[in-house]
Structure 1
Amino acid sequence: MANQRETEPEVTNPVNKIGTENEHSLHAALKEWYAQPGDEIEAYVDGYIVDLVRFYPHGEQELIEIQTKNFYAIARKLKVLAERHHVRLVYPVPVEKWIVRTTATGEFIRRRKSPKKGKPIHLFTELIRVPDLLNGKNLVIEVLLTREEEIWCEDGKGSWRRKGASRQDRKLLEVVDRIELKNHKDLLGFLPEGLTAPFTNKELASLLGEPVQIARMLTYSLRKCGLIKTVGKKGNELLFAIGGNRFDHTTSGVIK
């Protein structure tokens, strides 16, 4: 079989509306969990509706946007608001998830724990669509690690992988941890300890314990942020470097 040249990860920008029905319960629950006394909810700022506006002493304020998927749909809004305001983008990653199956009329059938476990690095499945989001000033990304229920309705309209069940909703059970990314340089913390430059996506994936596709999303995003660069090829695989032979994690820490 002929060797295939490594290609960039495919980046698609969905056209889903912000706040679709599949997001309603989770979005509302996260907004309630995040809100503090004194926050303005669903406030109108510079022509946009913002989930939460938080006020601090000395007249400072922060705009808080909760987005459960599709960063591309909200990217322009965030960049416009960040020109004049401090903005925080909150994104949930389910580290534990339970699947709840219901009938087409909403009656409970069964509940099981999903074998899939989300990790902070899965942020890049969304960030790959707008990898330069943290390059500007005034924008912070906060990753919430959550426990969730996902509701599957056996209505015959879903994927064959789910035996015809369609995903109806996501429900928040608990927020177990949070990670704050204050600027694009914090993204280097996703690179694992023991990574030596130059490295390939396969080598990175092995150290991460993730599929190569996740490694490609990470290196693509870091390249677009100007944090790493291609320095050659190893066979048909791209080689990447960060500037030195080994990345010093003492400045930002490793995000696991």
Structure 2
Amino acid sequence: MAGIGELAEGPLHAALKQWLARPGDSFEVKVDRWVVDLVRADGELVEVQTGGFGPLGPKLDGLLDQHRMRIVHPVPAVRRIVRVDADGVILSERRSPKRAGVLEVFDRLVAFPSLIGHPHLVVEVLLCREDHVRAPTPTRSRSGRRTRDPGVRHLAEVVGRHELRRPEDALDLLGADLPTEPFTTAELATLLGVPAGLAQRVAYCLRLMELLEPAGRRGPAPLHQAVGG
């Protein structure tokens, strides 16, 4: 029988809980008024979050000051698109051209960047090989519009992991040193090799982690500079 909170969980979430589990850990444990994905034998609370971090806000508010917590977020570093028919028979397989990187965690960290550095919090990013299983063709909604099946994520392998315990750990994820001179988010995007929107979220998070500070403007574009740089 499925435990509390397990009925609606997807296969990626379930597989990661099993991958993370150690002897003596417990699944789906009620702590105060919340259900926690995994409770370590040493008392650490582990939450697997495959989507945005925003829904974790109330749980963090209620538990973080009294409990050590770890948020585990998977990023599909390599993904394979698998199309199946209604009976689950594989019709086609191909490797997706999209390659995510560890920086995608900043898309999620915008929910609470200032919490990085809390003595009870660790955010762990897992780089994964995933299979995205989808229906063979787009479906139609009630309005008649064609919609693409977003697919269901399945874990194939964990290929890397990174921990954020201190704000400075976020700098280690960048893969490049911040410029010594003031820079725009467009220049940051070029430096990191990421889309402009993600660079903006990186800058926002680093600013709230007190790693960046405003440095005036260059024309209409705000400038940032590394604190102490």
Q: Shorter chain as normaliser: what TM range?
A: 0.7 to 0.9
Residue matched to 2:68: 86
Whole-angstrom distance in 2 between the partners of 1:236 and 1:170: 41
Whole-angstrom distance in 2 between the partners of 1:201 and 1:155: 36
| 1:14-43 deviation line (CA, Å, top 9, x unaligned) | xxxx9895x510000000011011101111
Ranges in structure 2 where 5+ consecutive residues have no aligned partner:
none
Residue matched to 2:151: 168
Q: For residue 89 of structure 1, report the CA deviation from its aligned partner.
A: 0.4
| 1:132-177 deviation line (CA, Å, top 9, x unaligned) | 232533000000010000111235148xxxx743123100000011
Residue matched to 1:53: 39
Distance 1:194 1:130, change over 3 A: closer
Distance 1:20 1:237, change over 3 A: farther
Whole-angstrom distance in 2 between the partners of 1:242 and 1:195: 8
CA RMSD of aligned residues (A): 2.1
Q: For residue 44 of structure 1, report the CA deviation from its aligned partner.
A: 1.1
Q: TM-score, normalised by structure 1?
A: 0.79
- Does structure 1 conserve the Cα–Cα contact (< 8 Å) formed by 2:78 and 2:100? yes
- Does structure 1 conserve the Cα–Cα contact (< 8 Å) formed by 2:117 and 2:165? no
> Which residue of 52, 58, 67 corresponds with 1:70?
52
- Whether 2:37 is the aligned partner of 1:41: answer no
| 1:214-245 deviation line (CA, Å, top 9, x unaligned) | 11000011122222111101111111012233
Q: For residue 71 of structure 1, report the CA deviation from its aligned partner.
A: 0.6
Helix, strand or coil at the partner of 1:89? strand
Whole-angstrom distance in 2 between the partners of 1:35 and 1:196: 42
Number of aligned residue pairs: give it: 219
- Whether 2:170 is the aligned partner of 1:187: answer yes
Residue matched to 2:97: 115
Whole-angstrom distance in 1 between the partners of 2:172 and 2:155: 27
| 1:86-106 deviation line (CA, Å, top 9, x unaligned) | 100000011100011123454
Residue matched to 1:221: 205
Ranges in structure 1 where 5+ consecutive residues have no aligned partner:
1-17, 246-256
- Does structure 2 conserve the Cα–Cα contact (< 8 Å) formed by 1:197 and 1:244? no
Bigger relative contact order, structure 1 or 2 (CA pairs below 8 A, ≥6 apart): 1
- Does structure 1 conserve the Cα–Cα contact (< 8 Å) formed by 2:24 and 2:40? yes
Whole-angstrom distance in 2 between the partners of 1:157 and 1:120: 34
- Does structure 2 conserve the Cα–Cα contact (< 8 Å) formed by 1:198 and 1:239? yes
